[in-house]
């Protein structure tokens, strides 16, 4: 009996030792995985998850950078990074989009409903998302036509806390390309196109931290042309100016009807560059010379009063970029220009740069000359350092690599040289936001890596030292269920 007990004791000891060893090995593997850092903070962004036009997509406030992107089922997701503790939170789903779920949706991935972010004076985080012009479920659009989805607004349940959200039904559902601006007095403006292509551009104003909004006001007019079978339409970029001003850069979209346009019908054809200013205190609009404008601005008024540059005639197309002011209050504008190669979406477009010198508009040179030679796209945003010094952060392709790099000019845009390279990935293409509002140098832009053969994107928070890293186990969010539900 004593021998049997001794034998059992030995066996038990061995089993315990093996179990402890296995647990220790498993714990070691888990710890190793948790300690492994990757340079993306999430891998579940969907489609064209980010863009220059929907902005700001991120905000830096009190040492924390808040970021947003389009995730599974085209719903908005929000994460945050604390620069002092170097800790990530989220991403959390901030709302439910009407896009990405219905079998009646015209396209598998719509991409127009990606989120725009704002933080009000009380610290609540707001997200505007989900619209591509609205549809008949929302009634009649009095300021344009319709397409799909519904523009939505959600707000965090607690200040600076992105873990829980509630929906607010207080903006028009007929919206897309949301852009949010908060003034020094706390007033909030949300700008967007009020419908599909043949629609006015409008703004709505809130004076109570986004809890209610005034009715939409048109500032760019869509209308039918009488000389050709097309409609006037627009694409705009809106940002803070000096004092009480909001600045607007925009391009003209010729919206072809039916089988017009030599049988091609509707395309994404856009031309030229324009600029104007909205004084929120007086409610007045003006051009760069100070002349007053009547809104909504028509194509005729835009050509006469607000034209920055013709961008190469009918053979060249534009995609409107961003605008920023220098220390003198003079505007600097980016716009993407490329030759129409006959495809429905046109050819590759390179970022070009214009600036107002106090008397006239100058520039038009490509920022990355090599991209024009190689016929590849460039997109991004820029920082104005002085009236004659700017730095662009561009995403582009170089050989088989996707690259994000600085390009700097010290002579008013006559010449640009490649600066610090921030990120490079093999076989990648990039979707980029504009600058994060009040950006920390370590976190200037949000970028999504676009790889062929998949609609899922890795998302990076990129600054002057490259991407901010995160534990691999925290960054891997894409589930088999989400993959299966991809339309």
CATH number for the domain harbouring residue 475: 2.120.10
Confidence (pLDDT) at 304: 98
Residues 431 and 369 in one domain: yes
pLDDT in tens, 416-469: 999 999 999 999 999 999 999 999 999 999 999 999 999 999 999 999 999 999
Whole-model pTM: value is: 0.92
- Tell me the average pLDDT across 108-137: 96
Token pair, residue 203, equals 């703004």
pLDDT-based confidence at residue 31 (cuts at 50, 70, 90):
low
pLDDT higher for 390 or 316?
A: 390
CA distance 357 to 69: 36
Inform me whether the pLDDT recorded for 182 exceeds 60.
Answer: yes
The answer on 159 and 31 residing in a single domain is no
Q: How far is the C-alpha of 250 from the C-alpha of 238, rounded, in Å?
A: 9
Reported as a pLDDT band with limits 50, 70 and 90, residue 362 is very high
Return the exposure string of 427-440: e unless at least 16 CB atoms fall within 10 Å of the residue's CB, then b: ebbbbbbbbbbebb
96, 214: one domain:
yes
| Tokens of residue 428, six digits | 């990648």
Give the list of residues 6+ apart from residue 159 with CB closer than 8 angstroms, or none: 122, 123, 124
Distance from C-alpha of 105 to C-alpha of 107, rounded to nearest angstrom: 6
What's the average model confidence in pLDDT over 478-482?
87
Stronger pLDDT, 132 or 260, i.e. the higher one: 132
Cα separation, 161 vs 152, in Å, equals: 20
Domain limits for position 25: 1-35
Give the model's pLDDT for residue 33.
52
pLDDT tens, position by position, 231-263: 999 999 999 999 999 999 999 999 999 888 888
Statement to judge: residues 27 and 127 lie in one domain = no
The yes-or-no verdict on residue 312 having pLDDT over 90 is no
pLDDT given at position 1:
45
User: Is residue 9 located within the same domain as residue 48?
Assistant: no
pLDDT of residue 344: 61
Q: Do residues 100 and 15 both lie within one domain?
A: no
pLDDT at 28 over 80: no
pLDDT at position 482, please? 84
User: What's the confidence (pLDDT) of residue 193?
Assistant: 98
Q: Which of 69, 77, 81, 177 is catalytic?
A: 177
- Residues 6 or more apart whose CB falls under 8 angstroms from that of 471 comprise 34, 35, 36, 37, 38
Instruction: Give residue-wise pLDDT tens across range 41-96.
Output: 999 999 999 999 999 999 999 999 999 999 999 999 999 999 999 999 999 999 99
Residues 165 and 260 in one domain: yes
pLDDT digits (tens, 9 = 90+) for 263-281: 888 888 999 999 999 999 9
Q: Is 177 a catalytic residue?
A: yes
Average pLDDT, the chain: 91
Instruction: Give the total number of structural domains in the chain.
Output: 2
Catalytic residue of the set 60, 112, 147, 332: 112
- DSSP bridge pairs for 339: 316
Task: Write down the pLDDT at residue 7.
Answer: 45
Token look-up 């991809």 returns 486
Statement to judge: residues 20 and 125 lie in one domain = no
Query: Is the Cβ–Cβ distance between 126 and 109 less than 8 Å?
Result: no
User: Does residue 110 have a pLDDT over 90?
Assistant: yes
Comparing CA positions, the residue from 166, 164, 222, 214 lying closest to residue 193 is 222
Contact between residue 366 and residue 372 where contact means Cβ atoms under 8 Å apart? yes
Average pLDDT (349-358) is 95
What pLDDT sits at residue 21? 53
Q: Are residues 117 and 207 in the same domain?
A: yes
Spatial strand order in the sheet of 87-93: 58-61, 64-70, 76-82, 87-93
What pLDDT shows up at residue 27?
A: 56
- The yes-or-no verdict on residue 14 having pLDDT over 60 is no
Indicate if 252 belongs to the active site: no
Give, as one character, the DSSP assignment of residue 137.
Answer: G
Question: Is the domain of 20 the same as that of 87?
Answer: no
Q: What would the pLDDT profile of 295-308 be if each residue is shown by its tens digit?
A: 999 999 999 999 99
pLDDT of residue 349: 87
Q: Tell whether 110 and 127 lie within a shared domain.
A: yes
242 and 208 both lie in a single domain: yes
Of 12-26, 340-354, 442-456, the poorest mean pLDDT is in: 12-26
């Amino acid at each position: 009996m004593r021998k049997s007990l001794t034998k059992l004791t030995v066996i038990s000891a061995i089993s315990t030792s093996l179990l402890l060893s296995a647990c220790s090995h498993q714990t070691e593997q888990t710890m190793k995985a948790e300690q492994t850092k990757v340079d993306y903070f999430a891998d579940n962004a969907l489609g064209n998850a980010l863009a220059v036009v929907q902005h700001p997509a991120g905000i830096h406030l009190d040492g924390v950078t808040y970021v947003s992107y389009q995730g599974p089922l085209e719903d908005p997701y929000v994460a945050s990074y604390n620069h002092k503790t170097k800790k990530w939170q989220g991403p959390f789903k901030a709302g439910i989009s009407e896009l990405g779920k219905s079998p009646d949706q015209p396209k598998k991935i719509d991409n127009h409903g990606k989120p725009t972010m704002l933080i009000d004076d009380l610290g609540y985080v707001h997200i505007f998302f989900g619209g591509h012009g609205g549809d008949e479920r929302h009634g009649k659009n009095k300021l344009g036509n319709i397409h799909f989805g519904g523009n939505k607004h959600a707000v965090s349940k607690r200040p600076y806390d992105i873990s829980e959200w509630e929906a607010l039904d207080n903006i028009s559902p007929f919206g897309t390309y949301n852009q949010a601006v908060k003034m020094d007095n706390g007033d909030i403006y949300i700008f967007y196109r009020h419908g599909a292509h043949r629609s006015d551009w409008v703004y709505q104003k809130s004076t109570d931290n986004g809890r209610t909004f005034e009715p939409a006001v048109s500032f760019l007019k869509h209308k039918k042309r009488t000389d050709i079978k097309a409609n006037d339409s627009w694409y705009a970029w809106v940002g803070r100016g000096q004092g009480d001003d909001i600045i607007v850069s925009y391009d003209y979209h010729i919206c072809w009807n039916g089988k017009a346009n030599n049988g091609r019908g509707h395309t994404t054809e856009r031309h030229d560059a324009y600029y104007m200013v909205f004084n929120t205190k007086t409610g007045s609009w003006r051009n760069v010379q100070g002349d007053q404008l009547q809104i909504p601005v028509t194509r005729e008024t835009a050509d006469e009063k607000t034209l920055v540059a013709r961008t190469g005639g009918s053979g060249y197309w534009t995609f409107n970029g961003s605008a920023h002011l220098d220390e003198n209050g003079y505007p600097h504008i980016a716009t993407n220009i490329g030759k129409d190669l006959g495809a429905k979406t046109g050819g590759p477009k390179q970022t070009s740069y214009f600036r107002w010198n106090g008397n006239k508009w100058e520039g038009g040179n490509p920022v990355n000359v090599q991209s024009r030679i190689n016929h590849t796209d460039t997109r991004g945003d820029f920082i104005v350092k002085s009236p004659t010094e700017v730095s662009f952060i561009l995403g582009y392709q170089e050989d088989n690599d996707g690259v994000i790099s600085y390009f700097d000019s010290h002579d008013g845009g006559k010449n640009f040289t490649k600066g610090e390279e921030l990120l490079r990935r093999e076989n990648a293409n990039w979707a980029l936001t504009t600058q994060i509002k009040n950006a920390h140098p370590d976190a200037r832009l949000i970028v999504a890596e676009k790889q062929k053969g998949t609609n899922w994107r890795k998302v990076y928070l990129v600054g002057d030292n490259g991407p901010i890293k995160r534990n691999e186990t925290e960054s891997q969010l894409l589930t088999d269920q989400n993959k299966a539900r991809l339309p």
